[in-house]
Amino acid sequence: MSFTVAIDGPAASGKGTISRAVAAQFGLGHLDTGLLYRAVGARMLDGMDPVEAAETLNPEEIDEDALRTPDVAQAASKVAAIAQVRAALVDVQRAFARRAGGAVLDGRDIGTVICPEAEVKLFVTASAEVRAERRWKELAAKGHRVAYEEVLADVRERDARDAGRSDAPMKRAEDAVLLDTSTLSIEEAVARACAAVEAAGGDRRG
Ligand code: DC
């Protein structure tokens, strides 16, 4: 029997951290679907046609570290607005969602389009300023020298594109639990997400 947790939200909302923690605490597999779009975006930056890049993508060969850059994030957001790119990535996401033992998928359209039947849906958000500050700290820790204002502009641009596209726009599913992490610690945000998963019938490990 499958058990799917769908976690959506904008960039740097904390959904990645929350998804990894939920997966670990409930013994579920985890798929960061943003990495699929980032991989397609990176291939486009290398000169490949984005639709071909999506149709020939091998998720096993994704190199996460190389994809966590601001340029790749913007490219990902651009290719994600192309309906044929999204269509090419549906099957791999749905197959993962049905894996035995259960799964957590995080992205922008998991609760609305990829897994509308998910047992648990969360929409994780935070103010643009808080998210930009988190992303800026992350980038600085990795040695990327970039101004906070630039990161904030980047976050806003990506939000507008991801929420404004016509195909599978980022939005909260009507039945998703809203989790605003602006003033929460990581521990508090994770605890609230885990409480929602438990309320929906998830079994904690151990
Ligand atoms: O979660 P992320 O920042 O790694 O995602 C990068 C981009 O990919 C994001 O700006 C929009 C796109 N994306 C999407 O359209 N749908 C998803 N399910 C996941 C990501």
pTM: 0.96
Residue 11 beta carbon below 6 angstroms from any ligand 1 atom: yes
Mean pLDDT value of segment 100-128: 98
Domains of the chain, by residue range, sit at 4-204
pLDDT interval class at 144 (50, 70, 90): confident
* Separation of CA 119 and ligand 1 centre (Å): 22
Among 68, 69, 93, 108, residue to substitute to test ligand 1 (most atoms within 8 Å of Cβ): 108
Burial label, 149 (beta-carbon count in 10 A; 0-12, 13-18, 19+): exposed
Residues 6 or more apart in contact with residue 148 via CB below 8 angstroms: 132, 133, 136
Q: Examine the pLDDT at 206 and tell me if it is beyond 70.
A: no
* Predicted local distance difference test score (pLDDT) of residue 100: 93
CATH of 4-204, one of 3.30.930.10, 3.10.20.30, 3.40.50.300, 3.30.420.40: 3.40.50.300
Residue 190 beta carbon below 6 angstroms from any ligand 1 atom: no
Residue 162 beta carbon below 6 angstroms from any ligand 1 atom: yes
Over the stretch 20-35, which tens digit does the pLDDT of each residue have? Answer: 999 999 999 999 999 9
Give the span between the Cα atoms of 145 and 76, in whole angstroms. 21
Residue 77 beta carbon below 6 angstroms from any ligand 1 atom: yes
**Atom 2 of ligand 1 has which residue's CA nearest to it?**
34
Residue 158 beta carbon below 6 angstroms from any ligand 1 atom: yes
* Separation of CA 131 and ligand 1 centre (Å): 15
